Amino acid sequence: MMRAVDEALMALVKGRNRDPFAVLGPHPAPSGEGTVIRAFQPAARSIDVRLADGELRRMARRSPAGLHETVVAADVSHYRLRVTYPGDHVLEFDDPYRYGRVLTDFDLHLLGEGTHYRAFEKLGAHRIRVGSTTGVHFAVWAPNADRVSVIGDFNGWDGRVNAMRLLSPSGVWETFIPDLPDGEKYKFEIRTGQGALLEKSDPYGFAFEAPPHFSAIVRDISGYRWRDERWMAARKSHHGWLDEPLTIYEVHLGSWARVPEEGNRFLTYGEMAHRLVPYVKDLGFTHIELLPVMEHPFSGSWGYQVLGFFAPTSRFGPPEDFKLFVDACHEAGLGVLLDWVPGHFPKDDHGLARFDGTALYEHADPRQGEHRDWGTLIFNYGRNEVRNFLLSNALFWLEEYHIDGLRVDAVASMLYLDYSRNAGEWIPNRFGGRENLEAIGFLQELNRLTHGQFEGTITAAEESTAWPGVSRPVHLGGLGFTYKWNMGWMHDVLEYVHTDPIHRRWEHNLVTFSALYMHTENFILPFSHDEVVHGKGAMLDKMPGDVWQKLATLRTLYGYMYGHPGKKLLFMGGEFGQWREWNHDRSLDWHLLADPAHGALRRFVQDLNWHYRAQPALHQADFQPGGFRWIDCNDNENSVVSIVRHARDRDDFVVMVFNFTPVARDGYRIGVPAAGSYAELLNSDSALYGGSNVGNAGGVQSEPIAANGFDQSLRLTVPPLGCLLLKRQ
């Protein structure tokens, strides 16, 4: 027995002991009488044990490397270590090695089978109480590691001091460090099976140092007092907003606005609560969607290469301040959506890549585990613990930060095993196909859980292919998302308006083709950040012609988006006509609002949002075929299209007309569903919006002249590069 103990102690000194709790802390003395207490502190000059009665007992140095021990006469339930360091610096603390395990067998069972959906409460760093002692419990999954330690300022970043306990066969390592305060920086030091030492960030860390540093920070984030009870209660009645107005303002927090007089610094979460929230509310949007706020090392990734999946980035402040921002949104009546990235992760040495020296979170085979286009790694969705990590992460944001929905990035890359791969560069599924069956199952489980546990929240898929049933229920064979981004519509209409008006008659199908599939999914119509970067030009600069024509065309394009079935999304800066492409390192060009033309465009977007919310016909039957009808989709010679939008009550409808040429159309006749006087609710060519004021003097009376399959019709003046919104009075 003594020989086994000696071997274990020698392995401990060398940093190779996989079970330090078997030799450190209190144990029955080899003689069978009393208790031997061992401590390992490589930097200590001497160590004393302070017993429960206050007696100090000097420990004998067992090894010059820092191993100390002493024998006391009776069992020891409470004691402290008094360590004297060089320079007579003395530190007294409770011994972590006198505490037993914390995680239960049931926790480990659920983690192992991938159904511990609250894994964020068990793994990572958590302040807990063990008996009468408060401290921090650390736990991490690293099944192939030879040793795992917590390192930080509290132990001199020495991985031999706080080596963790392995809970076999789960592969989870844990330790409880008593009296450790909030604010301590830490990492996990992992000794691989090959003997290499890795320093890894906590996959479940709640807070991190500001980049480029990557230590996690011990932080209890449970103390924030929410004020959004009314919003959270009302959210349950929204049922995904399918028949309600949903307009989304997409934001990159680091570049919406900066503070130039203070070194071009970021706004804080608190400052954005006071500036961004009222701005978006005033514009009339219903939701803010944030490009990923999860901690990421490289700002140039825009947040899409995540390091800290459970931590809002420290660039803008602490976690509690992000809660304050969400709270401010809810108090203003704005929902908050997050871009969420379960499709890939970066290769940074301190991140998830080869976490315990092996391909743990990713596939080992690069034909399955690597995104060559992005230089990132792909999650192994078939591994229970990896799936559990991602699912619990999604639920974490909905619960802990009161987020109202997740927009899932790069879904197409998850669904196809051959995504962006040539022949021979991918591995078929077990049936020989290209579908990623594990990823499909993961996405379905994601949507079952989020919709089931957080009623009223939404999920949206950025899915750019014709995969069927993306927004259809899982029990009907779909993926279960609330919405799918309509990438086809977006690409078609942008190509159309980029064409010179004189040639648009030959591209008319680009405006009308979406009608063939507009009701196959619950679509969101996105003009997102991806359309204003990498040489694509800003929204305003995409439009041909002189400045007046560019502004007029953009107004009509926005009008067409609001008239077309589907919810709406617009990236920041598009509302006032940013000229230059988006740059993540710069603020938007807010000075443009001093120009009346840009202010007028902003007012037009504001009024579009107002009418969209005020008119049930524009949002109530988005996903029902009866909610939309072409009046005329065939007038390619004039490049004019006209539509009717119906509410659930079919007597409640609006008419919209879009002219995509700079030629006014006088006496232009369109059929309408019913006789009556039609008010011109919105005219994009109004002088109020910077237009030429061509229109219909506020309204027009129908005539009993058949047109376009209707018995009644209107004789209109359709403004150049303009759109009209009309409603029967």
**Hey, what are 80's tokens?**
């402290």
Q: How far apart are CA 662 and CA 664, in angstroms?
A: 7
506 burial level (CB within 10 Å; 0-12, 13-18, 19+): exposed
- Catalytic, 409? Answer yes
Catalytic residue among 243, 409, 463, 680: 409
User: How far apart, in Å, do the first and last CA atoms of the chain sit?
Assistant: 95
Q: Residues 462, 463, 635, 680: which is the catalytic one?
A: 462
CA–CA separation, 185 and 150 (whole Å): 10
Q: Is 500 exposed, middle or buried (0-12, 13-18, 19+ CB in 10 A)?
A: exposed
Sheet holding 79-85, edge to edge: 56-58, 46-51, 79-85, 89-94
Sign for the CA dihedral angle at 594, 583, 280, 482 comes to: positive
Q: Cα–Cα distance between 253 and 676 in angstroms, integer?
A: 48
- CA-nearest of 35, 629, 585, 533 to 264 is 585
Task: Tell the residue number behind the tokens 């871009």, with chain if given.
Answer: 339
Give me the count of residues in the chain.
729
Could you give the CA distance from residue 656 to residue 459 in angstroms, rounded to a whole number? Answer: 30
**What is the residue type of 560?**
Y
Q: Hey, CA dihedral for 664, 670, 673, 675, is it positive or negative?
A: positive
Assess whether the previous peptide bond of 212 is cis (omega < 30° from 0).
yes
Q: What is the DSSP string of 363-394?
A: -SSHHHHEETTTTEE-B-TTSHHHHHHHHHHH
| Residue ranges of E strands in 101-167 | 124-130, 133-141, 147-152, 165-167
| 208 touches 200 (CB < 8 A) | no
b vs e for 259-278, b when ≥16 Cβ sit within 10 Å of the residue's Cβ?
Answer: eeeeeeebbbbbbbbeebbe
**Do residues 295 and 312 lie in contact, with contact meaning Cβ atoms separated by under 8 Å?**
yes
Closest CA to 138 of 102, 104, 109, 100: 102
Which tokens is 57 given?
């007992």
The count of other CB atoms within 10 Å of the CB of residue 128 is 11
Task: Give the containing element (helix H, strand E) for 396.
Answer: helix 384-400
Distance CA 17, CA 30 (A): 20
For residue 274, what is the enclosing H or E element? helix 269-283
CA dist., res. 71 & res. 66, Å (int): 17
Q: How far apart are CA 524 and CA 441, in angstroms?
A: 23
Provide the residue type at 376 as one letter: T
As a whole number of angstroms, the distance between CA 621 and CA 607 comes to 21
State CA 221 to chain mean position distance.
19
Alpha-carbon span 344 to 132, nearest angstrom:
42
H/E stretch holding 542: helix 539-542
Q: What's the CA gap between 315 and 546, in Å, rounded?
A: 40
Catalytic amino acids? 409, 462
